Amino acid sequence: MTTSTLFNPPDAPDNQRILIVDDDPLILELLGIFITSFGYQYEAAADGKEATEKLAEHDFAIVITDMIMPNMDGMQLLKHIREHHPNTGVIVVTGHTGTFSYTDVIKAGASDFISKPFNSDELEAKINRIFREQQIIRELEYLSNCDPLTRLYNRRNFAEKLLEEAHRAHRQGYQLFLAMLDIDRFKEYNDTHGHQAGDEVLRCAGNVLQQCIRKDVDAAFRLGGDEFALILPQIGAEQARQVSQRVQENFQNLYIDDKTGISIGLASFNRHPEQTWQEDIDDLISRADKALYQAKAEGRSRTASGD
């Protein structure tokens, strides 16, 4: 049996773009020169209204905005960002008019504050701090949704993701399959070889699931113990069975022993207008569970359908 590859927390996005907003072309030019020298990409907007249009078209990690602008001032823009782009950091740039205080902009949701005239060192430090904080938040979100042993998504994330995918499948008119899986005779293996060996089997199973699904389309979960699940959107019944077969073959190729395998129950999502969404989700899970027990009853290391 080979050691599985663990899946690491998310890296910082490749495209750490910054949107700069000011009605003074000279300030925009200066900010652009600074940001380019820091190694980041940027776009520019002449006022808050143009900034909202650019935010609707592209994702930006940080917005650096002046406060006094025509059409939509910085405070209005800040409110818009907090409501529609809550993960975007905002650095507010102010002059010496005293119209807005540091307390005002921080209470309104700004990440930081810088006064004109500003220097490049101060600006770079504030930008880098926000990027570090955003990375920490991504890692914490990942950990809260991750099973620490297998690095798959956990049961908490499973419930949220399944409901989200069911809504999307119904809205866009494609099929959605759920695969419930568990490791055959895992308790026997664990009792015989010890918990450390059992944990390695679980890690290997998680690795196999990741290798057998489509990146950024399907999702793999550890629900607890030796129970796993796959959410398979935009896929037909035959394709879902092929995924199941691939999982079983790849797991068998690990040569753990001649008794341990993976049994799989498959079911497709059906929307019943007379029922709530949660009732339909519960029905999907129940059918996949029953199919899993059927597969185990038929000889294990098999796939059964709950449709």
**Residue 299's pLDDT band (cuts 50, 70, 90):** confident
| Calpha distance 144→138 (Å, rounded) | 10
pLDDT over 70 (residue 15): no
Q: Is 9 a residue whose pLDDT tops 60?
A: no
pLDDT digit string, tens, across residues 115-159: 888 889 999 999 999 999 999 988 888 778 889 899 899 998 999
Candidate from 19-28, 121-130, 238-247, 248-257 with smallest mean pLDDT: 248-257
Looking at per-residue confidence, does 254 or 246 come out higher? 246
* Domains of the chain, residue spans: 18-144, 155-305
Distance between CA atoms of 40 and 120, rounded to whole angstroms? 13
Mean pLDDT of 1-16: 49
Q: List phi, psi (to 5°) of 42.
A: -150, 160
Nearest-Å Rg of the Cα atoms of the chain is 26
Does residue 64 register a pLDDT over 80? yes
Overall average pLDDT of the 236-261 stretch: 91
Q: Percentage of the chain surpassing pLDDT 70?
A: 93
Residue 96 above 70 pLDDT? no
Q: How confident is the model at residue 5 (pLDDT cuts 50, 70, 90)?
A: very low
Q: What are phi and psi of 7, to 5 degrees?
A: -100, 125
Query: Looking at the domain 18-144, which fold is it?
Result: Rossmann fold (3.40.50)
Q: At residue 190, does pLDDT exceed 50? A: yes
pLDDT of residue 104: 77
CATH number attached to the domain at 155-305: 3.30.70.270
| 283 catalytic residue (yes or no) | no
Instruction: Report, as an integer, the average pLDDT of 60-78.
Output: 92
Per-state percent for the chain, helix, strand, coil, to nearest 5:
50, 20, 35
Arithmetic mean of pLDDT, 46-65: 94
Does the structure show a pLDDT above 50 at 4?
no
pLDDT at 2 exceeding the cut of 80: no
Please give the pLDDT value at position 144. 81
Which residue out of 22, 112, 182, 226 is catalytically annotated? 226
When pLDDT is averaged across residues 253-270 and rounded to a whole number, the result is 90
pLDDT higher than 70, residue 88: yes
| pLDDT above 70 (res 10) | no
In this prediction, residue 63 carries a pLDDT of 97
Reply yes or no on whether the pLDDT at 97 is more than 70: no
Ramachandran class of 194: left when φ > 0, alpha when ψ lies in -120 to 50, beta otherwise: left
Q: Where are the beta strands (DSSP E) in the chain?
A: 18-21, 42-45, 62-66, 89-94, 112-115, 176-183, 219-224, 227-233, 262-268, 303-305
How much is the pLDDT for 7? 45
